Amino acid sequence: MNKTLYRALALSYGAFFNLTALFSEKEAGKKAFKTFTTPRKGSILPVQQEYLQEFLGKKITVNNSRLQTYEWPGAGETVLLMHGWESNAYRWRYLIEKLQEREFHIIAFDAPGHGYSEGNSLNVVTYADSARQLIDLYRPKHIIGHSMGGLATLHNQYQNPNPYIEKIVTLGAPAELSELMVHYQKLVRFNKKVLRALDKHIYEHFNYRIHDISTPKFAKSIEQKGLIIHDERDTITPYNASERLHQNWKNSRLLKTTGLGHSLHQEEVNLQIVDFLLS
């Protein structure tokens, strides 16, 4: 889809939400939330199948959806990997190679609505709850989350402190749900009435306000050692998101990269992660 067509589609959503709000704010909030939480991609591509099929693990039922897990056995400590929005467990393939070299036991899973997992939507609260249940099952010592996976990891640790988790790594994680909503609002141009309805919808269904989802807020109560990695030229999530997180996370270290982008797939990043887990 070219940029002009994508922009026109986005604006049509905003116009639809605004019109709906004239008749029912509740319905407008519901529809805006559904659009915001519905991934457009993230399914397993043919080029990814051969790799992932070899490491398929159990399917775990979480909130009435079956989530696909993957497992790379190792004699060492267990690491849980959480991918980002519109991605899947394949994104970890290069890091997994480095972790296997040091005999870590690796667990990954496809988030709801992504990869081989069931569902057609994803939000940070349900992703964090998925993490909670996988953590209870596999009891990892370390968790690594990219982008939304990092946000969900910190949300879960804040909401459900796990003392047996020793280290947490975040890569390119956003800081505030409110900032994501501002971007969403600007993209589709819905009005304040729709934003208010969206906030109310989230509160009624998840017991959180938009401004409650904040990694700097979560970090104040997190005692685990943390490695925060972010590229200063990240065009998806601004670098200052990780600066604010680092300021409030007393046991964290911030690693700034330049020119590596949002994905942070590069070998130097993966080596830094492995060294941190071994330290």
pLDDT at 1 over 90: no
pLDDT of residue 5: 83
DSSP conformation letters of 148-209 = HHHHHHHHHHHHS--TT--EEEEES--SBHHHHHHHHHHHHT--HHHHHHHHHHHHHHHS--
Mean pLDDT confidence for 171-200: 96
* Residue 227: Cβ within 10 Å count: 21
How many whole angstroms separate alpha carbon 12 and alpha carbon 50?
39
Helical axes 177-188 vs 3-23, angle rounded to 10°: 100
Q: Which CATH architecture has domain 44-176+213-278?
A: 3-Layer(aba) Sandwich (3.40)
**pTM for the full predicted model:** 0.96
Q: pLDDT, tens digit, for every residue of 106-143?
A: 999 999 999 999 999 999 999 999 999 999 999 999 99
Secondary structure (3-state) at 255? strand
pLDDT at 42 over 90: yes
Q: Exposed, middle or buried: residue 259 (CB in 10 Å: 0-12, 13-18, 19+)?
A: exposed
CB 214 within 8 A of CB 173: no
pLDDT of residue 6: 78
How many whole angstroms separate alpha carbon 117 and alpha carbon 102?
29
Domain regions of the chain by residue span? 1-36+180-211, 44-176+213-278
What is the phi-psi region of residue 214: left when phi exceeds 0, alpha when psi lies from -120 to 50, beta otherwise?
A: beta
**b/e string for 98-117 if b means 16 or more Cβ within 10 A?**
bbeeeebbbbbbbbbbbbbb
